[in-house]
Amino acid sequence: MMTMREFRLPDLGEGLTESDIVSWHVHAGDHVELNQVIAEVETAKALVDLPSPYTGVVASLHAEEGQTVTVGDPLVTFEIDDGTPAAPTGDSAPPTTPQAAEPGVAPHTAVPVRRDPGLGEQGDDDGPEPNLVGYGAAPERAGRPTRRRRAPVSAAGRAGGRPEPAEPGVAPQAVPIVRTDPGLDADPTPGRVGERPRSTPPVRALAKKLGVRIDRVDGTGPDGLITREDVLAAVSCHRDVARPPRDVHGTLTASAASAASTGSAASADAPSATADEKGDVAPGGLGRGATSPVSAAAGVDARAGLEPEVVPVRGVRKHTAAAMVASAFTAPHATVFLTVDVTRSVELLERLRTHRLARGERITVLALAARALCLALPRHPALNSAWHDLADGTAEIVRHRRVHLGIAVATDRGLVVPHVPDAQDLDLPDLAAALTDLTVTARDGRTTPERLTGGTISITNVGVFGVDAGTPILVPGEAAILGLGAVRRRPWEHDGAVALRDVVTLSLSFDHRVVDGEQGARFLADLGALLEDPALALLASGPPPTGGAPSGRTLDPAPGSAARGERSRVRQGGVTG
């Protein structure tokens, strides 16, 4: 006996409440195996492959590519064989026995479409449910029904046909699985009543966002497939064409002539305001009755390719934008700049390329700056801190003893800031290797959620884009971020004479609630001194000064010693803003 099972978006961890469907790996009617990847979804943290919790046939997909889905919402309906366990266990499964009817279900009904009671949970009468490998189950929300009935949708039903009547008093019977996108199998002949045009989910999503009726667009792809270009051409034609479309001989196209005769076509002096609704605008300005590609080219305005592109804000971009707004309007930012001569550091990097102590790692200016930052932080603990507002109206400053160094990485999906945990314990070659791995993983979209949260201070390397300096915005929860500019060969005073030297500009943004201007300036001066003369690193590795106060002079041996701990707290009462 076949059973319809509804699979909901699981809780992917880290408190995430929604995900975007990046791509489907299956279609309605496809047979899938247990744990076969069926979709790729994008959370605020990373790209995630979503495996199938069942072995069976995909009956329908409940979301399109690009759509945002909330945890617990239905994703896929599967048709599975009740005689085969959905999730095999280590022991042999007992023979399948008929299941008791659910309360409130008609006694002679077939197994209805049921909502998956939750991954890893057990239904009232269904035996072990499949467990989605690598993810936990989303808890059932209070007040929500434990089961939801959803009748299978056939191709005819989606296309506008009449559903088959059910017998009185009997629940819907299980029906054969058909493809839920009839446009992929239907006859491409245009004008068929109730037919859904052939198109792909991204194209349908684009048409919806641009306000184009997909059933009024003629496809120019294989077998009449509607492409992205067809939708854009329909929009361009609707906006820019100032007279009814004509063919190469100057005569009105069939649909334009018909529209003109009924009063639905636009006048010759203004674009039609209802062309899409009447079905008279097709790609290239063609009516539905005309199909000549030459006519299409003749009807397109020369500015058709200059229409603005609408880019949905979702995934990493949406969450990065929210974080930047929260940071900019919560923490009072201050930025200081310092330009230093890094010729000695550049020469050191050249020597390290072939030195055995480098252990074959490619050490860059970014790695050297990261190591210098870790060496300078113990003398300036305020920079490795965070401001916490408390429920009682007071606040506290959390000073971290460990350095979880965040690195801003530009990816195709947007800006992410993964971090290197315990960066203070890594030597220069190990830190260089960690930065390389972190960057590659982030650009591949495979950074784990735990690496995207919990950073204590960050670096953004704008110099890789040829930029000299910038004013970086703080990562929420951090008190400082260092901007590293491009290393340039410039005239510079050296030993009483002007010479060409390698020069870089450093910028430091900090939370002025946590870091005073003096503290930020002294930290940047120490960092610049380490990059200007790497030999000073021998003086910068002492313990932090007691009491958390910076030394009066830069790079002096720090007096005293503080007990090592994960973090220390400095309470701030009477917060006024």
* DSSP letter assigned to residue 30: -
What are the residues whose beta carbons fall under 8 Å from the beta carbon of 22, sequence distance 6 or more?
A: 39, 40, 41, 42, 47, 65, 315
Contact yes or no for 300/233 (Cβ under 8 A) = yes
* DSSP letter assigned to residue 535: G
**Cα–Cα distance, 499 to 489 (Å, whole number):** 10
Range list of β-strands (E), 495-554? 497-511
Q: What is the largest CA-CA distance in the chain?
A: 101
Contact yes or no for 28/59 (Cβ under 8 A) = yes
What are all long-range contacts of 466-469, with beta carbons under 8 Å and residues at least 24 apart? Answer: 468/505, 469/337, 469/505, 469/506, 469/507
Contact yes or no for 371/345 (Cβ under 8 A) = no
* Residue 61 bridge partners (DSSP): 76
State the distance between the two ends of the chain, measured CA to CA, in whole angstroms.
66
**Cα–Cα distance, 206 to 67 (Å, whole number):** 11
Contact yes or no for 461/366 (Cβ under 8 A) = yes
Contact yes or no for 78/115 (Cβ under 8 A) = no
Strands 405-407 and 457-460: parallel
Q: Is 290 helix (H, G, I), strand (E, B) or coil?
A: coil
Q: Based on the residue annotation, tell me whether 27 is a catalytic residue of this protein.
A: no
**Cα–Cα distance, 500 to 509 (Å, whole number):** 29
Task: Please give the C-alpha separations between residue 395 and each of 323, 361, 383, 392, 515, in angstroms, as whole numbers.
Answer: 20, 43, 17, 8, 15
**Cα–Cα distance, 266 to 275 (Å, whole number):** 7
The full length of the chain comes to 577
Percent of residues in the chain assigned helix, strand, coil, to nearest 5 = 30, 20, 50
**Cα–Cα distance, 443 to 298 (Å, whole number):** 43
Q: Which of 25, 333, 388, 512 is catalytic?
A: 512
Strands 2-8 and 114-115: parallel
Contact yes or no for 112/4 (Cβ under 8 A) = yes
Q: 448-477: buried (b, 16+ CB within 10 Å) or exposed (e) per residue?
A: ebebbbebbbbbbbbbeeeebbbebbbbbb
Instruction: Give the residue from 506, 481, 462 showing the smallest Cα distance to 334.
Output: 481
Residues annotated as part of the active site: 512
